[in-house]
Structure 1
């Protein structure tokens, strides 16, 4: 390209015009080839990105209502099917549909934490492969029908709110400390056993202890069995009261002790010991050497 500079001034006042110069405007050579290669590479990257975007949209099932099984609404998020969370999930309310159960599954454990406004942990429930652990000020199980308390436990006590607590284990229930209850009742057609293998068994009540069994009651002990009433009577209410293992006292030489009757009388020592003495014309308890 040739550029010419023309002036309108007087030719006599200026010197002779210089030799005209030629300038080439544009990109030529290896620069031009590099530019075309860069533009081609950029177009390829744009096409690949656009294709990947379309592929991600189709794989994740993006739509106007959400993403695949995840639907976004004014009330929150709704997820249909199974989902895997790799990091903690923060939510105010998590519940299932009305016609299905909510299942949480993990290869390690499932932990639910509750925190206060300061971020401090106030309650936690962790279910692992070996055990379930709960942490909190108290634990409550309520009925879905009338919202009554079925079970309550805190650091001081545990309360069973139902009218009947049923133990179905073959070995019964094991209590390491005292038990306070108004009624202990066995299952129908099965016996009820209160047993202490290595220690003593004590039953106390301010107004008395009632033991009632239609088929009979049996008490066994390695040492002593003590029935004690502080202000009342000890009543054995039965058609027949038997003491089959009472010792027979050794009678003295009195004529009365040599009675001909094959009968015995029950004698009581000052210590409370009972024994049998062969009956005579009069009482022979004082002649016995059992006390």
Structure 2
């Protein structure tokens, strides 16, 4: 009887099963019941936060004309030239600080504002920079999302590109590249070839495992392909959208190695954990709860495989 019900459940709930299967891969980053594992501890790695001082932000020149702006947990970059300024991702609640930071460097007007993607935490203060003289640039999918949201704080883009877009100002060219769906539809790469700098947000924070569910990715496999595409670009330093500092290319490779290790651990965990064994030990008769227990068990096994590394 149980197996008949199980077959019926799988047959009528393919979407749930598909989502759950992907969640097994996610489980290597986070388990909903990680407290079951008694040996969770720190690996001892720690970075002290760069003092923000009274200003409330940290500003660093990455290369001629290119500046890194951070409020501690969030960051972006801007480009200052004699023909004007290009800003990226005006962080929610930090727009006034970004204006002050730009004012430290130049009195040239802002000409372009680039959205890496549509999420409000990264572009929630875009309205503070919007004007008839500022062209907003984003990938088509980001534009579609913002039209749907109808959020006055996130004005819709004027320029909506597909796969690639080149923006040149003051002798500097920024290449915008859309590698496909991953963390979010429209999540794009910003590459400044002449300065060997990349900005790729929310997916490869230096010295960090990805945020929950691999940064809430919509397509983990394409996200991995996207990171591979970024790594093929010519750059030395990258801006990840989070953390108090920029990262080095070798640190992006390091984070990507965690993606690969998680993928391998997921496959191995699936081999080791038997659904039948989980069912035998379970006290629930609810099929959805049972499948949840199975996923939790796989996630915990995935953690055990990864931990020695």
Normalised TM-score (structure 2): 0.19
Which structure has the greater CA radius of gyration?
A: 1
Greater RCO structure (CA 8 Å; 6+ sep)? 2
| TM-score w.r.t. length of structure 1 | 0.19
**Higher helix proportion:** 2
